[in-house]
Chain A
Amino acid sequence: MYPRELAKETGYSTVLVNVGTIQSKGFEFVATGTPIATKNFEWSIMGNITFERGKVKKLAGGIPLFVGNKWYVEEGGKIGNFYGWKNLGVYQWNESNAYDENWKKLTLVLENGQPKIENGKAVYTSNGQPYTGNVLSKSAPDGKLKGGDAEWEEVKADGVIDDEDRQILGNATPDFYLGVTNNFRYKNIALSFTFNGSFGGEVYNSLLQTQNNPSNTGAGSPDMVYNSWRKPGDIAKYPYYIEKNNRGNLKTNQNSLYVEDASFFRLSSARLSYQLNEKWSKTVGLRRITTYVYGSNLLTWTNYRGYDPEFSTNNPLTPGDDVGKYPRRREFGLGINVNF
């Protein structure tokens, strides 16, 4: 069942119909083996790799829909596509907002660390050649973009950054998952550990977005403090903080700056155990005693800046939104296993 968008003027918003089709294709490859098995030493390994492709095959009436505040579902599109504006950095100078008549960005010529002005006009080059043609600039619906404003990629090149310039910014579904488990045993000592990983998926880092733009306590995260535009000429990642609410600088929930690679590889568990000599155990009237130490979520390799790139989502249409969920806990323990 799938809520089909209905013309709103009927008085109804959606109707539950059976015609949305989501296709999930994929394959899983599992290999197990015991490369070494002797009396005193044994090594077994198990690995699996899973590829998954989720695609929206058909939507009722072909009408695309926005799900939540970040996702776009369209026929032929992938499930979990983040939708929004692609950030291209921050304009260094007011004069940096300059394009030729095909909306190709011009290079501003500097002189003594300031934009070079000739006859009251800034000087530009295009492909290394002096540019003398018409200079166009881009605007937000509420005003022309200037130094310290975020620069966005235009999908429809008309000089206005508006909702038609949104595009797919990434996808929350990983390209493949990986898992490897090793078991070693040498005489009475056994060691087992598991790695798992996920590659090619993206996460919308809502936590960082909120930290960067807290309501009343000033710039929140160090990333924001050290990478914001402050004065003309700054090369920055984030727009001028004072004017962040103007000229569409934030693009809350639809900003490619917060779409991050969530690939990771992690040592998810390890366990080392030692079985006491059975002669000793029998002297205290027990059949077998095993002592062990274990740990879980021990090491993670990832470029993701949030707490944990691995988290679950309830709604299958809105995956990969990290609002600062509690990370998986790291656990250590030791124990003793007694058989009577």
Chain B
Amino acid sequence: MMMKKIIAMSALGAALLLGGCKKFLDERPFNQVPLADFYKNRYDVEAAVAGMYSGFQQEMVGKDQYTEKYMYWGEYRSDNFDRFLIYTKDFVDEVVLNSLTPTNQFSDWTGLYSVIGRANNNIKYIPLTATLDPLLTPAMVNSYLSQTYALRGMSYFYLVRVWGDAVVRLEPYESLDAVADEPRVAKDKVINEVIIPDLQKAYDLVKKGDKPVVFNIGEAAICATMADVYMWKKDYPNAIKWIKLLFAAKGPTGALYTGASELNLQPSATWKNMFTAPASSMESIWSIHWDYQKNGCACMQTSWTSNNKQISIDEGIYGTWFQPQVAVATRTTDIRPRQTADVFFGGTKPNRDRFVKWYPTAANPIAADPWPASNQLLPVYLTMYRLGDIYLLYAEALNATGDLPNALKYLNYVRKRAVVPEYLPTDPLVSNQIAMENAILNERQLELFGEGKRWFDLVRTNHVKAVMDPILKRRQTAAGNISAPGFLNPEHKVYWPLHRNVLNSNAKLNQNPGYTD
């Protein structure tokens, strides 16, 4: 009798517990919203688009100090930057010595796929939200979708340039029952079947002739990305076509880019404005927003930080372009080097780590006024595309199609604005197609120094081996290596390895050749 009672009571207890389980244990994180409760109105959509941009911004500028992938992917592997020997880290050594391994933190593509995942959600749900909230007008839907497609295309473009073949995901991953592990798709296929269609959709949806917000992807930014993609494909007629469409679009000041001469570029005297106040520059196309007040310290190795840097400007380019600017006697007319790095600090033994391009400095700086006051409180706006960049891309495309006179014209517009002598058509440096390609590449190196372009330029034009060999040999000799073989295996090593965690988490991935699987 007693025993039965106990069993009955325990059964009741168990029933209560089981019944209660769902309610007690179904905890939801406070800082997250289930997808089913989101995308209900215009404000949700605005937040979702902002979240997508924010993911991309954090990839480029970096979540933590010195993690700016804008530079790690776009420039630190090139001849523009080297390790700062005293403060370097193991992963920086790998980057500058062409000895990357799958444990290098910058070989992790997770962040880009996070941006792509957010874009996939937007593409699926923004049109559905429009049926729920009349405040979300068709014009807004088109604008947000256009930006979303463009940013997804841009993210895939980074994937293809950094790792080559990439996994393609165009639908949101919404259930753990769905297949998570997908193999990589060939890089050409990603370009042709994902990136170009995405950018085309973005262009079709964007309202033509609108005055864009410089921190968003507008009409011209889509054209610029498309041109860049076709340049990567070496499809020059299409690149030229998209650059011409860009010239017909409006910049953030409301003026047409036109692309007729150096007069469409930011004037020499106020060259700095397009970096410090991109919204007010006729040259700006798309910049990344980073506000110290809202986002905290940008803390890149090419911005102000309170700590020592692991990366500095390479001694080669420093010696030929920056150092001669210190003394008036050896100084050139070029307006750029002294506004790019503080050449005065440190005298004959500079640290080469004082990068000032993003900050308002005097147009003609002298030793007395190198760093702006309270620079740590200033915003940093990284340029993704600007008209000077496009002029040089245009010159590269025209040169490749055999139109040397027009290529020279656009190369000279940039040089004229930089206040350096324009090339004469007879100059052996530009008198044939190969020389011209090199001259354009060299101009891009200087004009776009620190803008995350140089490495991709070297890969695109197949100049990695030729340019990096002597640099690597010098670094290998300085490192005390027994032999200095230069930049080994460029056919494989132009790509990064896939990070070990990325490989482990998806059974269908394989490592890039030349790296350990």
Contacts and interface: CB of A to CB of B under 8 A. Distances in A.
Contact of A7 (B88, B100, B480, B505): B505
A248 interface: yes
B308 A216 contact: yes
Contacts of A94: 482
Contacts of A17: 176
Closest 3 pairs between A and B when the two form their complex, measured CB to CB: A11-B117, A141-B99, A142-B99
Interface stretch (B102-110, B137-145, B245-253, B431-439): B102-110
Contact of A246 (B114, B118, B181, B479): B479
21 contacts: A5-B501, A5-B504, A6-B180, A7-B167, A17-B176, A64-B504, A65-B501, A94-B482, A141-B94, A143-B476, A143-B479, A146-B482, A163-B101, A163-B516, A215-B87, A216-B308, A245-B85, A245-B88, A246-B481, A248-B93, A250-B90
B505 A12 contact: no
Interface string B473-517: 000100111110000000000000000111011100000000010
Given A11-B117, A12-B117, A142-B476, A252 B90 contact: yes
Given A65-B501, A160-B516, 6 more contacts: A66-B500, A142-B93, A243-B480, A245-B479, A248-B90, A252-B90
A11 B120 CA distance: 9
Interface string A1-45: 000011111111101010000000000000000000000000000
B86 interface: yes
A9 B93 contact: no
B181 to A, nearest CB: 5
Nearest to B102: A163
Interface string A195-230: 000000000000000000001100000000000000
Contacts of A64: 504
Contacts of A243: 479-480
A141 B180 contact: no
Chain A binding site: helix, strand, loop or mixed by DSSP?
loop
Interface residues of A, number: 38
Contacts of B482: 94, 143-144, 146
Interface of A: 5-13, 15, 17, 63-66, 94, 140-144, 146, 160, 162-164, 215-216, 240, 242-243, 245-248, 250-252
B231 to A, nearest CB: 26
A13 B109 CA distance: 10
Contacts of B169: 9-11
B98 interface: yes
B22 to A, nearest CB: 15
Given A142-B99, A250-B90, A10 B500 contact: no
B100 A141 contact: yes
A154 B102 CA distance: 17
Contacts of A11: 113-114, 116-118, 120, 169, 172-173
A224 B109 CA distance: 38
Contacts of B479: 142-143, 243, 245-247
Nearest to B504: A63
Interface string B164-189: 00010100110010001110000000
B182 A7 contact: yes
B352 interface: no
B87 A9 contact: no
B114 A12 contact: yes
A247 B172 CA distance: 43
A242 B120 CA distance: 50
Nearest to B179: A7
A65 B109 contact: no
A216 B110 contact: no
A179 to B, nearest CB: 38
Nearest to B98: A142
A242 B86 CA distance: 10
A251 B502 CA distance: 21
B400 interface: no
A90 B108 CA distance: 32
B480 A246 contact: yes
A140 B99 contact: yes
A8 B505 contact: yes
Nearest to A214: B86
B27 to A, nearest CB: 10
Q: Which of A12, A141, A144 has the most CB of B within 10 A?
A: A141
B83 interface: yes
A248 B90 CA distance: 7
B89 interface: yes
Contact of A216 (B86, B176, B182): B86
A162 B117 contact: no
B155 to A, nearest CB: 10
Nearest to A144: B482
Nearest to A158: B516
Contact of A251 (B90, B97, B114): B90
Given A6-B180, A11-B118, A143 B481 contact: yes
B176 A13 contact: no
B181 A7 contact: yes
Contacts of B500: 66, 163
Nearest to B96: A142
A291 B298 CA distance: 61
Nearest to A94: B482
Q: Which of A143, A215, A216, A242 has the most CB of B within 10 A?
A: A143
Nearest to B508: A7
A17 B103 CA distance: 26
Contacts of A251: 90
A250 B90 CA distance: 8
Contact of A143 (B87, B483, B506): B483
Nearest to B115: A11
Given A65-B504, A66-B501, A9 B99 contact: no
A143 B480 CA distance: 9
A249 to B, nearest CB: 9
Nearest to B159: A9
A248 to B, nearest CB: 7
A11 B94 CA distance: 27
A6 B173 CA distance: 11
A6 B113 contact: no
